[in-house]
Amino acid sequence: MKFLIINGPNLNMLGIREPELYGRQDYAALCERVRAACAARGIDCELFQSNHEGVLVDKIQAAYGVFDGIVINPAAYTHTSVAILDALKAVAIPAVEVHLTAVEQREAFRRVSYAGMACIATVTGKGFAGYEEAVEILKNYIEER
Ligand code: DQA
C-alpha cells in the first residue's frame, strides 16, 4: 500500500507559525512522525508540501495510478480551493482530510472545506496525532473495500 501525504501552504512554517495554535514542533518532526506511522503499518509513503495551489493540483493529478491513498492537509486552500476539490475528484483516490487545529471551532470562514467534500473522512484538532489517525482510517478503508 502506498500513501501520498500532502501538506499545503505555511505548514513548512510549523514550529515558527502561531505556536500557541500549531505547536512548537517543526515540519521535519511532523514528517518523521508520519513516516513512522506508515512504516509501523507496512505502508510506503511520500510526503509533499507546497505553498502553491497549482503545484498541489499537479501533485494530486500525478498521484493517479501511483498511490492507493492520500492524506491531505490543504491548509488555507481547504477553505477556498475548488481546484483541489476537483483534482481529488478527478483522480478518485481515497483521501482523508486532516487539520492540526479544530477548524470547526475557529473563525467562520474555516468551517467550509472544499477538499473535504471529496474525502472519506476528516480528522481535526488532534495535532500531529491526527495524521496517524488519518493513516489508520485510510488503511482500514482501503483494506475493507
Ligand atoms: C489548518 C487549518 C487552516 O484553517 C489553516 O489555514 C492552516 C492549517 C490546520 O492544520 O489546522 O494553515 O489546515
Q: pLDDT for 85-119, tens place per residue?
A: 999 999 999 999 999 999 999 999 999 999 999 99
pTM of the model: 0.98
Closest by alpha carbon to 56, among 26, 86, 27, 22?
Answer: 86
Give Cα 98 to chain centroid, integer Å.
5
- d(Cα 50, Cα 145) in Å, to the nearest integer? 30
Q: List the grid coordinates of 136.
A: 489508520
Tell me, using a 6 A CB cutoff, whether residue 12 lines ligand 1.
no
Q: Which of 7, 17, 101 to mutate to test the pocket of ligand 1 (most atoms within 8 A of CB)?
A: 101
Nearest CA to ligand 1 atom 2: 75
Atom of ligand 1 nearest to the CA of 101: 11
Nearest C-alpha to atom 6 of ligand 1 is from which residue? 76
**Does residue 99's CB lie within 6 angstroms of at least one atom of ligand 1?**
yes
Residue burial 127-144, b: 16+ Cβ < 10 Å; e: rest: ebebbbbbbebbbeebee
73 lines ligand 1 (CB under 6 A): yes
Q: Catalytic positions, please?
A: 22, 99
Long-range (24+ apart) CB contacts under 8 A made by 123-127 are: 123/96, 123/97, 123/98, 123/99, 124/98, 124/99, 125/99, 125/100, 125/101, 126/100, 127/23, 127/100
pLDDT tens-digit profile, the chain (145 residues):
999 999 999 999 999 999 999 999 999 999 999 999 999 999 999 999 999 999 999 999 999 999 999 999 999 999 999 999 999 999 999 999 999 999 999 999 999 999 999 999 999 999 999 999 999 999 999 999 9
Identify any residues that bridge with 98 across adjacent strands, giving them in sequence order: 123
Phi-psi region of 124 (alpha: psi -120 to 50; beta: other; left: phi over 0): beta
